[in-house]
Amino acid sequence: MNIVTDEFTESYYLATPVITSTELPTSLFSSSRLDFQEIASTRSALQLSPEVRIPHVSVDSKLKRMIDILGASVGLMLTGFILIPIAIAIQIDNPGKIFYSQIRCGVNGRPFHIWKFRSMVTNADSLKHLVQNEAKGNIFKSKDDPRVTRVGRFLRRTSLDEFPQFWNVLRGEMSLVGTRPPTVDEVKTYEARHWKRLRVKPGITGEWQAHGRSNVKDFESIIDMDLEYQRKWSILYDLKLIFKTVAVVLKKDGAC
């Protein structure tokens, strides 16, 4: 992989080999290449400080990575056990693909495919404009989203829909604990302060999920939580958030 020096390089940071939007695999990102170019242009115009562009210390933590690999391995084994019954339930309820994949932005805006068990109807993305957004700011939330299937509501309530993300963790695109992985459309509207949250890897859980998930509907509050996580970060704090998230899920607190 060649190191490049165009404006899109900034969104990946200098310390690692990077690719530009024009070098992204055609099969993976061709439909969103213009979006990434727009993100790069917007980010360049903000003239972010080095403090914002440099990844958080947690990104290079070998111990955190070891925990991620261990946790992802266990998580994928559990995913294997629940895969068949979930697949059957999804097909009975709303025939179509078992998995849902969407491009999200990781550390410093690097794009990746996030994976979930499909919890919505097959044409959910094309129906999004018909659903009222109940959140404030650059996020989309609807408590009674009509696109969510009956099986999907159970998967979301129990967080089983997110189990395929252990594959993203194993690949190093995500972490067990981090920021909420933002969409491309969301990142295109970011201000300088919002880019600070992308100094860490996106996580399956984090401050937002551990504090009631969908009960938090203000984007700026989520940003504050993500930045607070960066200030508080330690391996012990990650473990604390993991256990707290398990408790939240078991209580079905804030599930959507």
On whether residue 221 sits in a domain, the answer given is yes
Say yes or no to pLDDT of 25 above 60: no
List pLDDT tens digits, range 135-166. Answer: 787 778 888 889 999 999 999 989 999 999 99
pLDDT at 7 over 50: no
Q: Residue 42: what pLDDT?
A: 65
Q: What is the pLDDT of residue 125?
A: 83
pLDDT at 27: 47
Q: What's the number of domains the chain is made of? A: 1
Q: Confidence band (pLDDT; 50, 70, 90) for 14?
A: very low
Inside any domain, residue 22? no
Residue 116 in tokens: 């979930």
Q: Are strands 203-205 and 175-177 parallel, antiparallel or unpaired?
A: parallel
Instruction: List, in sequence order, every residue forming a beta bridge with 120; answer none if it has no partner.
Output: 148
Q: What is the pLDDT of residue 110?
A: 87
pLDDT at position 130: 86
The answer to whether residue 31 sits within a structural domain is: no
- Average pLDDT of 178-205? 91
The pLDDT of 233-248, averaged and rounded, is: 93
Distances (CA, A) of 83 to 58, 74, 79, 165, 245: 31, 14, 6, 13, 22
Is 34 a domain residue? Answer: no
Task: Decide if 53 is inside a domain.
Answer: no
pLDDT reading at 173 higher than 50:
yes
Task: Give per-residue pLDDT as tens, 40-93.
Answer: 666 666 667 776 778 999 999 999 999 999 999 999 999 999 999 999 999 999
pLDDT of residue 30: 52
In a domain, 37, yes or no: no
Higher pLDDT among residues 61 and 20, named by residue: 61
Domain range for 184: 58-251
pLDDT at 117: 98
Q: What is the DSSP string of 169-228?
A: HHHTSSEEESB---BHHHHTT--HHHHGGGGS-BEEE-HHHHTTGGG--BHHHHHHHHHH
pLDDT tens across 80-132, in order? 999 999 999 999 999 999 999 999 999 988 889 999 999 999 988 888 888 88
247: in domain: yes
Examine the pLDDT at 5 and tell me if it is beyond 60.
no
Q: pLDDT at position 2, please? A: 36
Report d(CA 156, CA 154) in Å as an integer.
Answer: 5
Token pair 């070098």 in the structure block, residue: 23
**Mind listing the pLDDT tens digit for each residue in 194-233?**
999 999 999 999 998 887 666 677 888 889 999 999 999 9
Specify if 19 maps to a domain.
Answer: no
